[in-house]
Homo-oligomer: A and B are copies of this chain.
Amino acid sequence: MDGVKVVAIARRAASYEERTGRTREAILAAAEQEFVANGLSGATMESIAKAAGVNKALVYRHFERKELLFQRVLVMAYRRLRDMEANLEFSDDPVAALEELCSFTLHYYLENPNFLVLVGVENLHKGENLRSVAREELAISKLIRVVTGLLAKGERAGAFRPGLDPVDLWLTLSSLCWFSVAGAYTVDITFGRNIHQPAEAEARLAVIKDVIRRYALRPERLPPI
Protein backbone atom coordinates (compact mmCIF):
# COMPACT_ATOMS: atom_id res chain seq x y z
CA MET A 1 0.00 0.00 0.00
CA ASP A 2 2.78 2.48 0.63
CA GLY A 3 5.41 1.25 -1.79
CA VAL A 4 8.85 1.94 -0.42
CA LYS A 5 11.36 1.91 -3.24
CA VAL A 6 13.20 -1.17 -2.19
CA VAL A 7 16.27 -2.09 -4.04
CA ALA A 8 16.13 0.12 -7.06
CA ILE A 9 19.64 1.00 -6.22
CA ALA A 10 22.35 -0.57 -8.23
CA ARG A 11 20.93 -1.25 -11.61
CA ARG A 12 22.63 0.23 -14.67
CA ALA A 13 25.20 -2.47 -14.54
CA ALA A 14 27.71 -4.14 -16.73
CA SER A 15 26.85 -7.28 -18.64
CA TYR A 16 23.39 -8.47 -19.62
CA GLU A 17 23.54 -11.24 -17.08
CA GLU A 18 24.50 -8.94 -14.29
CA ARG A 19 21.84 -6.43 -15.16
CA THR A 20 19.17 -9.11 -15.38
CA GLY A 21 20.23 -10.59 -12.09
CA ARG A 22 19.99 -7.30 -10.29
CA THR A 23 16.62 -6.47 -11.73
CA ARG A 24 15.37 -9.86 -10.68
CA GLU A 25 16.59 -9.36 -7.15
CA ALA A 26 15.02 -5.95 -6.94
CA ILE A 27 11.68 -7.31 -8.06
CA LEU A 28 11.84 -10.26 -5.69
CA ALA A 29 12.67 -8.05 -2.75
CA ALA A 30 9.88 -5.63 -3.54
CA ALA A 31 7.43 -8.43 -4.13
CA GLU A 32 8.24 -10.02 -0.78
CA GLN A 33 7.45 -6.84 1.04
CA GLU A 34 4.25 -6.27 -0.85
CA PHE A 35 3.03 -9.83 -0.45
CA VAL A 36 3.76 -9.78 3.24
CA ALA A 37 2.09 -6.45 3.75
CA ASN A 38 -0.97 -7.16 1.66
CA GLY A 39 -1.29 -10.84 0.95
CA LEU A 40 -1.41 -12.54 -2.40
CA SER A 41 -4.47 -10.83 -3.76
CA GLY A 42 -3.84 -7.65 -1.84
CA ALA A 43 -0.46 -7.01 -3.41
CA THR A 44 -0.69 -5.59 -6.91
CA MET A 45 1.77 -5.97 -9.71
CA GLU A 46 1.68 -2.25 -10.08
CA SER A 47 2.80 -1.60 -6.53
CA ILE A 48 5.43 -4.30 -6.74
CA ALA A 49 6.85 -2.78 -9.90
CA LYS A 50 6.85 0.66 -8.41
CA ALA A 51 8.53 -0.56 -5.25
CA ALA A 52 11.16 -2.30 -7.33
CA GLY A 53 11.69 0.85 -9.31
CA VAL A 54 10.88 -0.83 -12.59
CA ASN A 55 8.16 -1.03 -15.12
CA LYS A 56 5.15 -3.25 -14.65
CA ALA A 57 5.74 -5.05 -17.91
CA LEU A 58 9.24 -5.88 -16.86
CA VAL A 59 7.95 -7.73 -13.85
CA TYR A 60 5.94 -9.87 -16.22
CA ARG A 61 8.92 -10.42 -18.46
CA HIS A 62 10.78 -11.83 -15.50
CA PHE A 63 8.06 -13.76 -13.72
CA GLU A 64 5.27 -14.35 -16.16
CA ARG A 65 2.41 -14.38 -13.67
CA LYS A 66 1.67 -13.06 -10.25
CA GLU A 67 1.45 -16.54 -8.81
CA LEU A 68 4.81 -17.53 -10.17
CA LEU A 69 6.30 -14.43 -8.66
CA PHE A 70 4.73 -15.36 -5.34
CA GLN A 71 6.10 -18.84 -5.68
CA ARG A 72 9.63 -17.54 -6.20
CA VAL A 73 9.30 -15.26 -3.20
CA LEU A 74 8.07 -18.15 -1.11
CA VAL A 75 10.89 -20.43 -2.17
CA MET A 76 13.39 -17.70 -1.37
CA ALA A 77 11.95 -17.34 2.10
CA TYR A 78 12.17 -21.06 2.70
CA ARG A 79 15.75 -21.28 1.54
CA ARG A 80 16.84 -18.35 3.61
CA LEU A 81 15.56 -19.96 6.79
CA ARG A 82 16.80 -23.44 5.96
CA ASP A 83 20.24 -22.05 5.22
CA MET A 84 20.40 -20.31 8.55
CA GLU A 85 19.26 -23.42 10.37
CA ALA A 86 21.88 -25.51 8.62
CA ASN A 87 24.59 -23.17 9.84
CA LEU A 88 23.56 -22.80 13.45
CA GLU A 89 26.27 -23.37 16.02
CA PHE A 90 24.98 -25.24 19.01
CA SER A 91 26.35 -25.78 22.51
CA ASP A 92 27.95 -29.10 23.23
CA ASP A 93 25.37 -29.95 25.85
CA PRO A 94 22.43 -31.45 23.92
CA VAL A 95 19.80 -30.10 26.29
CA ALA A 96 21.17 -26.62 25.91
CA ALA A 97 21.37 -27.16 22.18
CA LEU A 98 17.74 -28.10 22.01
CA GLU A 99 16.79 -24.98 23.90
CA GLU A 100 18.92 -22.95 21.56
CA LEU A 101 16.98 -24.33 18.64
CA CYS A 102 13.75 -23.26 20.36
CA SER A 103 15.12 -19.86 20.97
CA PHE A 104 16.44 -19.42 17.47
CA THR A 105 13.16 -20.52 15.92
CA LEU A 106 10.93 -18.30 18.01
CA HIS A 107 13.16 -15.30 17.50
CA TYR A 108 13.50 -15.92 13.80
CA TYR A 109 9.73 -16.00 13.46
CA LEU A 110 9.39 -12.88 15.54
CA GLU A 111 11.96 -11.00 13.53
CA ASN A 112 11.03 -12.36 10.15
CA PRO A 113 7.28 -12.40 10.13
CA ASN A 114 7.60 -12.47 6.34
CA PHE A 115 8.26 -16.15 6.44
CA LEU A 116 5.22 -16.84 8.59
CA VAL A 117 2.97 -14.63 6.55
CA LEU A 118 4.07 -16.07 3.23
CA VAL A 119 3.66 -19.62 4.40
CA GLY A 120 0.35 -18.73 6.04
CA VAL A 121 -0.90 -17.26 2.81
CA GLU A 122 0.26 -20.29 0.93
CA ASN A 123 -1.61 -22.57 3.31
CA LEU A 124 -4.76 -20.53 2.86
CA HIS A 125 -4.27 -21.22 -0.83
CA LYS A 126 -3.95 -24.93 -0.04
CA GLY A 127 -0.37 -25.13 -1.15
CA GLU A 128 -1.20 -24.54 -4.80
CA ASN A 129 1.86 -22.48 -5.46
CA LEU A 130 4.35 -24.59 -3.62
CA ARG A 131 3.25 -27.90 -4.98
CA SER A 132 5.02 -27.49 -8.30
CA VAL A 133 8.31 -26.62 -6.68
CA ALA A 134 11.00 -29.26 -6.70
CA ARG A 135 11.50 -30.66 -3.20
CA GLU A 136 15.21 -29.90 -3.16
CA GLU A 137 14.55 -26.24 -3.77
CA LEU A 138 13.11 -26.07 -0.29
CA ALA A 139 16.25 -27.57 1.19
CA ILE A 140 14.25 -29.37 3.81
CA SER A 141 16.82 -32.11 4.14
CA LYS A 142 19.26 -29.69 5.71
CA LEU A 143 16.88 -29.05 8.56
CA ILE A 144 16.14 -32.71 9.11
CA ARG A 145 19.82 -33.43 9.27
CA VAL A 146 20.29 -30.85 11.98
CA VAL A 147 17.46 -32.11 14.15
CA THR A 148 18.43 -35.72 13.65
CA GLY A 149 21.96 -34.90 14.71
CA LEU A 150 20.74 -33.14 17.81
CA LEU A 151 18.54 -36.02 18.86
CA ALA A 152 21.20 -38.62 18.24
CA LYS A 153 23.71 -36.75 20.26
CA GLY A 154 21.31 -36.31 23.17
CA GLU A 155 20.35 -39.94 23.02
CA ARG A 156 23.96 -41.09 23.04
CA ALA A 157 24.57 -38.83 26.01
CA GLY A 158 21.74 -40.59 27.84
CA ALA A 159 19.80 -37.36 28.15
CA PHE A 160 17.04 -37.86 25.59
CA ARG A 161 14.52 -40.59 25.38
CA PRO A 162 15.51 -43.10 22.76
CA GLY A 163 13.57 -43.44 19.51
CA LEU A 164 12.40 -39.88 19.23
CA ASP A 165 11.35 -39.07 15.69
CA PRO A 166 13.03 -35.93 14.38
CA VAL A 167 10.06 -34.86 12.28
CA ASP A 168 7.70 -35.27 15.23
CA LEU A 169 9.97 -33.24 17.40
CA TRP A 170 10.46 -30.58 14.80
CA LEU A 171 6.76 -30.25 14.11
CA THR A 172 6.15 -29.90 17.82
CA LEU A 173 8.79 -27.28 18.32
CA SER A 174 7.80 -25.44 15.19
CA SER A 175 4.10 -25.50 16.09
CA LEU A 176 4.78 -23.84 19.39
CA CYS A 177 6.85 -21.05 17.92
CA TRP A 178 4.68 -20.70 14.88
CA PHE A 179 1.40 -20.21 16.61
CA SER A 180 2.91 -17.86 19.13
CA VAL A 181 3.79 -15.48 16.35
CA ALA A 182 1.33 -16.25 13.57
CA GLY A 183 -1.61 -16.15 15.94
CA ALA A 184 -0.25 -13.17 17.82
CA TYR A 185 -3.05 -10.78 17.02
CA THR A 186 -6.02 -12.93 17.89
CA VAL A 187 -4.22 -14.29 20.94
CA ASP A 188 -3.57 -10.75 22.09
CA ILE A 189 -7.20 -9.81 21.62
CA THR A 190 -8.63 -12.91 23.24
CA PHE A 191 -6.10 -13.73 25.94
CA GLY A 192 -4.42 -10.38 26.42
CA ARG A 193 -0.97 -11.76 25.71
CA ASN A 194 1.01 -9.73 23.26
CA ILE A 195 4.11 -11.56 22.14
CA HIS A 196 5.41 -8.50 20.40
CA GLN A 197 6.34 -7.20 23.81
CA PRO A 198 9.79 -8.53 24.71
CA ALA A 199 8.89 -9.66 28.21
CA GLU A 200 5.99 -11.64 26.90
CA ALA A 201 8.19 -13.17 24.25
CA GLU A 202 10.70 -14.37 26.80
CA ALA A 203 7.97 -15.76 29.03
CA ARG A 204 6.50 -17.68 26.15
CA LEU A 205 9.91 -18.92 25.09
CA ALA A 206 10.46 -20.27 28.59
CA VAL A 207 7.27 -22.28 28.35
CA ILE A 208 8.19 -23.56 24.92
CA LYS A 209 11.61 -24.68 26.11
CA ASP A 210 9.99 -26.36 29.07
CA VAL A 211 7.51 -28.21 26.90
CA ILE A 212 10.20 -29.39 24.54
CA ARG A 213 12.58 -30.43 27.26
CA ARG A 214 9.95 -32.42 29.09
CA TYR A 215 9.05 -34.09 25.80
CA ALA A 216 12.61 -34.97 24.86
CA LEU A 217 14.26 -35.77 28.15
CA ARG A 218 14.14 -39.05 29.95
CA PRO A 219 11.76 -38.47 32.88
CA GLU A 220 14.36 -39.38 35.39
CA ARG A 221 16.47 -36.51 34.12
CA LEU A 222 13.69 -34.04 34.89
CA PRO A 223 13.70 -32.27 38.25
CA PRO A 224 11.03 -33.74 40.53
CA ILE A 225 7.80 -31.73 40.39
A222 surroundings in chain B (CB, below 8 A): 219, 222
* A215 at the binding interface (Cβ < 8 Å): yes
Are A167 and B189 CB-contacts (below 8 A) given A161-B225, A215-B215? no
A94 to B: closest C-beta gap in Å: 16
Complex interface: chain B residues within 8 A of A161 (CB): 225
A214 in the interface, Cβ–Cβ < 8 Å? yes
| A120–B117 touching, CB < 8 Å | no
State whether A191 touches B171 (Cβ < 8 A).
Answer: yes
State A172–B213 Cα separation when bound (angstroms): 14
Q: Choose the segment among A7-15, A96-104, A121-129 that binds chain B (4+ C-beta atoms closer than 8 Å).
A: A121-129
User: Would B189 and A127 count as touching, CB distance under 8 A?
Assistant: yes
Cβ of A29 to closest chain B Cβ, rounded Å: 20
- Given contact pairs A119-B183, A120-B123, A120-B124, A215 touches B211 in the complex (Cβ within 8 A): yes
Residue in chain B with minimal CB distance to A36: B124
Interface residues contributed by chain A, number (CB under 8 Å) = 56
For residue A10, give the distance in angstroms from its CB to the closest CB of chain B: 26
Q: Across the interface, do B131 and A189 meet the contact criterion of CB distance under 8 Å?
A: yes
A153-181 contacts to B, CB under 8 A, are 161-162, 167-168, 171-172, 174-176, 178-180
Establish whether residues B182 and A123, one from each chain, have CB atoms under 8 Å apart when the complex forms: yes
Of B119, B127, B167, B175, the contact of A175 (CB 8 Å cutoff): B175
Q: How far is the CB of A156 from chain B (nearest CB, A)?
A: 15
> Which chain B residues border A121 with CB–CB below 8 Å?
124
Nearest 6 A/B pairs, CB to CB: A127-B185, A175-B179, A219-B222, A41-B41, A214-B214, A140-B190
Give residues in A with beta carbon < 8 Å to B: 39, 41-42, 78, 117, 119-124, 126-127, 130-131, 133, 135, 138, 140, 161-162, 167-168, 171-172, 174-176, 178-180, 182-191, 193, 204, 207-208, 210-211, 214-215, 218-220, 222-225
